[in-house]
């Protein structure tokens, strides 16, 4: 019929007497053969999905419904173009594969409620899909971080395409993890999509480094970090005692400050350090910025 011509490109003259399998995709030929054989055996209606070659050599997926007049052997078929549906199904299948394989936590939410979470979410926080169905987003928020979640949701509702924020989420065992969230929203449907990554270790390390930095700066003792005879970092006590500040670090070597009479002992100390051996209670004289020694 004309719809056949519109969809596949062939007109009536081109199809007169043409074998049915001439338009079948090579990989789907058996599907056509099976359908024809079932009809010949007397089945009243046969449904199958297969690709058909268009006149321009492209292929379209068709859903066929066929029947046969046993007396005359005449077959009647209705086909519908489902190419877009099949391609969408493939895309969904691919998306589901990535959704399930991702190491990052992936979340789909509607409004302020969870709709779907991936296995990585379960591995990291402990909740499975059933436990999260329809659960409010704020139900897993740390009380001190609830506003961060609310602000992010409100920004998404206003149409901001991507919102990033860091906040804690409560695990099933009652503990909390720091998560970096990246979220977007489909304005038409109101569905939110979010990716979260566990950064608990990073945050805790930052806290430890911040604490170490405070002790480094507050210590009364001289503290230094050096590499290959060059200072990398000195604390305020170093500056107060010896006079050198951070600006002087590029100009001096660790060994340049050693009193000439103490260089032999100092070299032995450095040799031990390079071997990974600890050095305790080492004493030597150090050159101050004003030229004196301490």
Give the pLDDT of residue 218: 67
Does residue 42 or residue 212 have the better pLDDT? 42
Stretch among 41-45, 111-115, 205-209, 235-239 having the lowest mean pLDDT: 205-209
Q: How confident is the model at residue 44 (pLDDT cuts 50, 70, 90)?
A: confident
What is d(CA 207, CA 213) in angstroms, rounded to the nearest whole number? 10
Give the pLDDT of residue 215: 66
For each of the domains in the chain, give its residue range(s) and CATH number, in order of start: 2-82 (3.30.450.20), 102-203 (3.30.450.20), 219-294 (3.30.450.20)
pTM (2 decimals)?
Answer: 0.56
Does residue 54 or residue 247 have the better pLDDT? 54
What is d(CA 203, CA 199) in angstroms, rounded to the nearest whole number? 6
Instruction: Find the mean pLDDT for residues 35-53.
Output: 90
pLDDT tens, position by position, 188-200: 888 899 999 999 9
> For residues 71 and 94, is the Cβ–Cβ distance under 8 A?
no
pLDDT tens, position by position, 87-115: 888 888 887 888 888 889 999 998 889 99
Q: Is the pLDDT of residue 62 over 80?
A: yes
The H-or-E segment that residue 210 falls in is helix 200-218
With CA atoms as reference, report the closest residue to 256 among 221, 286, 235, 214: 286
Please report, for residues 56, 121, 169, 198, 202, the alpha-carbon distance to residue 103 in angstroms, rounded to integers and kept in the order given: 43, 9, 17, 10, 17
């Amino acid at each position: 019929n004309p719809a056949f011509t519109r969809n596949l490109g062939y007109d009536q003259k081109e199809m007169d007497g043409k074998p049915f399998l001439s338009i079948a995709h090579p990989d789907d030929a058996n599907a056509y053969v099976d359908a024809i054989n079932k009809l010949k055996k007397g089945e009243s209606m046969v449904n199958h999905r297969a690709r058909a070659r268009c006149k321009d050599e492209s292929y379209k997926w068709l859903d066929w419904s066929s029947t046969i007049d046993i007396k005359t052997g005449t077959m009647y078929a209705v086909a519908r173009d489902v190419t877009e549906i099949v391609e969408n199904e493939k895309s969904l299948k691919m998306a589901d594969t990535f959704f399930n394989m991702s190491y990052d936590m992936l979340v789909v939410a509607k409004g302020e409620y969870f709709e779907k979470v991936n296995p990585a979410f379960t591995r990291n926080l402990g909740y499975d899909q059933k436990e999260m169905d329809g659960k409010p987003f704020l139900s897993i928020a740390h009380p001190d971080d609830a506003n961060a979640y609310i602000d992010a949701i409100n920004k998404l509702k206003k149409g901001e395409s991507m919102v990033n924020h860091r906040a804690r989420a409560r695990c099933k065992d009652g503990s909390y993890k720091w998560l970096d969230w990246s979220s977007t929203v489909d304005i038409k449907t109101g569905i939110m999509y979010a990716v979260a990554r566990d950064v608990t270790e990073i945050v805790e390390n930052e806290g430890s480094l911040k604490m170490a930095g405070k002790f480094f700066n507050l210590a009364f003792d001289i503290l230094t970090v050096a590499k290959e005879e060059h200072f990398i970092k000195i604390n305020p006590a170093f500056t107060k005692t010896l006079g050198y500040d951070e600006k002087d670090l590029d100009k001096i070597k660790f060994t340049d400050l050693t009193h000439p009479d103490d260089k032999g002992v100092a070299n032995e100390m450095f040799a031990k350090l390079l071997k990974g051996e600890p050095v305790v209670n080492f004493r030597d004289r150090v050159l101050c910025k004003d030229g004196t020694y301490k």
